[in-house]
Structure 1
Amino acid sequence: MTSNLTRRTMIVAGAVTGLTGAVFRGAATAEPRGGGTAFTDATVIDPASGRVLPDVTVLVRGDTIVDVGRHVRPDGARRVDLRGRFVIPGLADMHTHAQAEGIDNGLYVANGVTTVREMAGSPLARDWRDRIEAGTLLGPRYTVGSRLIDGAPSIWDPAWLDVVQVSDAATARAAVREEIARGADFIKVYSRVPRDAYRALAAEAQRHGVPFAGHCPDVVPLAEAADLGQASIEHMFWTPFESSTKEAWIRREIQRIRLERGDYSGWFAALHPLEWTAAHTYSPVKARHLHAKLARRRVRQVPTLAMHRGLDFARTLDTNHPRSKYLPASSLASQEIALREFYLKDRAPSEDAEWAAMFDHRLRTVRRLHEAGVPLMTGTDTGTVAVWPGFSVHDELELFVSAGIPPMAALYAATAEPADFLGTRTGRIAPDHAADLAILDANPLVDIRNTQKLSGVVVRGHYLDEAARLQVLADVERTAAASSGAALSPGCPCHTG
């Protein structure tokens, strides 16, 4: 890489962007003392049960749903008439990377995203989680993983990202213990971890009762990762290999890959021809065997199709999207660096058609995974090219449906499945569950794009009506614009996987 920009400068840039928790608290409407809020005459869509309940009332007190039904008596509660509107559980982004203070949380909340999983141990995300839990910042519920644990050398340059490099079983076990001591909710595995180190990492994490998730290391078959207890697999890079009639040849080629530290573009270049071969030697029999194991082991797949779309169509990507007004200049600069230094640096224009065709293969694979009963979860990989906090969860839902997944099942992947995975009270519209809701002007079961037609959000019981939601977006836009003129050195939060 030619740049000397660092991840730390990105965090510093985020710290000066200034949209405070007080702005969010001012935008959220507090409930009447003791009475709660009654959302009346709504059509409730509850993916966990698969039920659609017309003309019901959802009664919220504090941060909890206390009753749902047609005969709920909302005595003493403030009433919010939702006649003609649809209510779904708050959405989840299960693959995020913190970018900037005053940006991420506003975009999540304004887009109805009330649960996020931070995948790179960001100190910024830990700070947000603590402030949100303390009630001093309005934002989604955070689960924060460890720093990335990769092989040595890592395909990440440590000057760009705080990555832990392990070379054998002993260093892997030590890394797990250190990350648990640092407060990680789970251990994040990366691409180049050696097989013996991975097995030791899995054993150590399980010994401490901490989940491990992330990439499937290149040298580890998915079936083995499932047997060892990996909780979730991120992205779609490795899925085709065990569905190929040439798997043995592919495995030998993977063993031959040699990369220097920080050579992320080289990793893409090395893996792509193997993906291409696997896609063209697809075996339905092998796929069914693998998918059955993933389903049986309940290994969640987080496809991050929004990220893959940016990667697979990198040459023709329109980077001047209207959503870019919500990101600070440093984040936009990081995406440009990623596009140039990671995605396209080692990619010849003659390969573009292959990359585009791989995206179609990824969509077909996601449909097959769903049909086989492999649990799916929505995740976007925020910080990568053409991915935006909050907004891209709706893109992911649209891509799920375009892959052939029914809208109710797509909503399940964005609500009930993440809640089950995390063991939280979120993801359902039912008594004793968290009051995290998205209020829509149109039915998402008719057109999944209707999840973007938000007219209100409830996060931890705080109700933001349409005016408040739009005010949050306006505040984020103003914060992003204010950062543009600052003398900031953009870092690269991208592709932290």
Structure 2
Amino acid sequence: MKIVKRLLKIVFALIGLLVLIGIITLWVDSSGTNYLEINKNETASNNSYLIKKVNVIPMNQDTVLVDKMVYIKKGVIEKIADTIEVKGIEIINAKNKYLTPGLIDMHVHVWDRYELGLYLSNGVTAVRNLWGMPMHLRIKEDVMEENIFSPSFFTTGPKLTGSEFIGDDNLNLSNPSEAKDKVVEYKDRGYDFIKTYYGLDKEVFDAVIEQAKISEMDIVAHPSQKVPFSYHLNPQIKSIEHAEEIVQQPLQFDLDTLKLQAVIDSISASKHTSYSPTLTVFHNIYQMMMDDDILDSESLKYMNPLIKMDDSKRQFERWYNAKQEDPTTVERIKKQHDFHMNIVNKLHEAGVPIICGTDGGIGVTLPGFSIHTELAFYKEAGLSNYEVLKTATVNASRTHSMMNQLGTIEEGKIANLLLVDENPLFKLSSLKKPTYVFVKGRKLDRATLDSFNEKAKNRKNLIATALRYLENLIIEK
């Protein structure tokens, strides 16, 4: 018995030591993002400003309001006029630069807080995270309490899948009762939306939709192959993700424009469905096959190190091997990407609201930076600059009621804004490096934003990320 007691003591001591090491690791990683903390007592973190001599791109109409003044009061756009008299606040001379709504990325996967700075640096002032974990609820709380500089943060719960769709990144549902319970649970825990994924059959999907309506939770749908594609046009589903899902499911990989038009017409007829094409993440398959050294590229230094070591490497190896086994794969992927561009064009022509999403944070799709690639693809697909901007501003903000205070520059809206040197209605690339980013009225200058990039570059938080993912597996499984 004495030997058993000694062994137990050693085991408990080792467990205690591992827990302590884990706590220290997470604390060190948390302290590494202290630069995002808001000191509400400092004048520099004030959220009230008067901007003068600025050209406003309101995005509620295709126009420019020339040489205006904009009064931001406690994080909200108070007034827009030719002349505004306000005392006791900082005045910013915009010098005839352009003020636009901050960009919204409607499909991201956030792995750490460093990425919040990467999004802000690239002008993204709101994100919709589509793979919810406990750490995202903590981020959401800090953002809502204005403890950190961050894009406005919205998140789904864990991905809901069918019972046979195995993977540690999925929440497998086996029956309708369990499906309803999960929707209720995610609502109670503070998740904003429900995300449906592969493998949901009609019975379980019906239960998710029914309970989401009762619980007043919008659904974001990565289409399930167990039900017809048209099933995702239910009014409770506010957006459908990925242009490639149209190719893979209703078209069965047949790149036929006539068959496509029938699918587009059904989406348009629903009148309530937005579509997030995520062209960039699919095009990156082509990029991986064209660049054998992509994992060692300068840009990949901005990826979370655990994702780079695991997901980026696995995706690269998958497509590198596919190219070796069948060289025509490269051409096939490029043709499908080009067809996705056609999908965007047809969706737009049919009046379907397109919402900008990148799938940033997985594979080789960079957080923040990728939104500019995505917008450029929409331009290439035939949208005007104004129509492109709508996808990442007003269209996105209209998708969910809780986002309605974003997306345009109007009195009463939240002051998530960009000040840029040139008019993006003529030059989209002017959005890449804003002079100032305002997030809930708080001003971040270019030097600060550039420092966010440097802080995130080559970060050493692989173990901390793994621990947060382990927490997710323990709590959600």
Q: 2:355 aligns with which of 377, 381, 388?
A: 377
Distance 1:291 1:241, change over 3 A: farther
Alignment of 1:442-453 (within 5 A): 442-453=422-433
Q: Is the 8 A contact 1:444 1:451 kept in 2?
A: yes
Q: 1:99 aligns with which of 111, 118, 123?
A: 111
Cα shift at 1:374: 0.4
Distance 1:128 1:407, change over 3 A: same
Q: Distance in 2 between matches of 1:76 and 1:164?
A: 53
Q: Secondary structure at the match of 2:110?
A: coil
Q: Distance in 2 between matches of 1:242 and 1:43?
A: 45
Q: Is the 8 A contact 1:330 1:491 kept in 2?
A: no
Distance 1:210 1:490, change over 3 A: closer
Deviation track 1:369-396 (CA, whole Å, cap 9, x = no partner) reads: 0111101111111222221111111221
Deviation track 1:409-444 (CA, whole Å, cap 9, x = no partner) reads: 111111112222232311111111101101111221
Q: Is the 8 A contact 2:47 2:441 kept in 1?
A: no
2:72 equivalent to 1:60 = yes
Alignment of 1:260-339 (within 5 A): 274-275=252-253, 277=254, 279-280=255-256, 282-283=258-259, 286-294=262-270, 296=271, 298-317=272-291, 318-339=294-315
Q: 2:374 aligns with which of 375, 380, 396?
A: 396
Q: Percent identity?
A: 22
Which residue does 1:439 correspond to in 2? 419
Which residue does 2:120 correspond to in 1? 109
Distance 1:54 1:203, change over 3 A: same
Cα shift at 1:368: 0.7
Q: Which has the higher contact order (CA 8 A, sep 6+)?
A: 1
Alignment of 1:151-166 (within 5 A): 151-154=162-165, 156-158=166-168, 161=169, 163-166=170-173
Q: Distance in 2 between matches of 1:398 and 1:392?
A: 10
Q: Distance in 1 between matches of 2:399 and 2:127?
A: 12
Q: 2:234 aligns with which of 224, 227, 252?
A: 227
Which residue does 1:254 correspond to in 2? none
Which residue does 2:137 correspond to in 1? 126
Q: Distance in 2 between matches of 1:16 and 1:196?
A: 46
Q: 1:456 aligns with which of 412, 420, 436?
A: 436
Alignment of 1:125-274 (within 5 A): 125-154=136-165, 156-158=166-168, 161=169, 163-227=170-234, 229-240=236-247, 244=251, 274=252
Distance 1:487 1:194, change over 3 A: closer
Distance 1:117 1:137, change over 3 A: same
Q: Secondary structure at the match of 1:454?
A: coil
Q: Secondary structure at the match of 1:450?
A: helix
Cα shift at 1:38: 1.2
Q: Bigger CA drift: 309-318 or 113-122?
A: 309-318
Q: Bigger CA drift: 67-76 or 18-27?
A: 18-27
Alignment of 1:462-473 (within 5 A): 462-473=442-453
Q: Bigger CA drift: 134-143 or 466-475?
A: 466-475
In structure 1, runs of 5+ residues without a counterpart are 1-9, 245-273
Q: Distance in 1 between matches of 2:228 and 2:182?
A: 22
Q: Distance in 2 between matches of 1:234 and 1:63?
A: 31
Cα shift at 1:463: 0.5
Deviation track 1:123-181 (CA, whole Å, cap 9, x = no partner) reads: 22211111121222111111111111011211x522xx2x2112343333333233333
Q: Is the 8 A contact 1:191 1:217 kept in 2?
A: yes
Distance 1:19 1:310, change over 3 A: farther
Q: Distance in 2 between matches of 1:11 and 1:231?
A: 39
Q: Bigger CA drift: 405-414 or 15-24?
A: 15-24
- Counterpart residue identity of residue 430, structure 2: N
Q: Secondary structure at the match of 1:139?
A: coil
Q: Secondary structure at the match of 1:46?
A: coil
Distance 1:487 1:218, change over 3 A: closer
Which structure is larger by alpha-carbon Rg, 1 or 2?
2
Cα RMSD of the aligned pairs, angstroms, is 3.1
- Counterpart residue identity of residue 157, structure 1: G
Q: Secondary structure at the match of 1:180?
A: helix
Cα shift at 1:451: 1.0
Taking structure 1 as the reference length, the TM-score comes to 0.81
Aligned residues: 443
Q: Distance in 2 between matches of 1:387 and 1:71?
A: 44
Q: Secondary structure at the match of 1:457?
A: strand
Q: Distance in 1 between matches of 2:286 and 2:180?
A: 35
Q: Secondary structure at the match of 2:435?
A: strand
Distance 1:241 1:385, change over 3 A: closer
Q: Distance in 2 between matches of 1:488 and 1:121?
A: 14
Distance 1:487 1:190, change over 3 A: closer
Q: 1:409 aligns with which of 359, 362, 387?
A: 387
Cα shift at 1:330: 2.4
Distance 1:368 1:14, change over 3 A: farther
Q: Secondary structure at the match of 2:60?
A: coil
Q: Distance in 1 between matches of 2:393 and 2:351?
A: 17
Cα shift at 1:208: 1.8
Distance 1:29 1:430, change over 3 A: farther
Cα shift at 1:222: 2.9
Q: Distance in 2 between matches of 1:11 and 1:342?
A: 35
Q: Is the 8 A contact 1:21 1:136 kept in 2?
A: no
Q: Bigger CA drift: 13-22 or 380-389?
A: 13-22
Cα shift at 1:94: 0.8
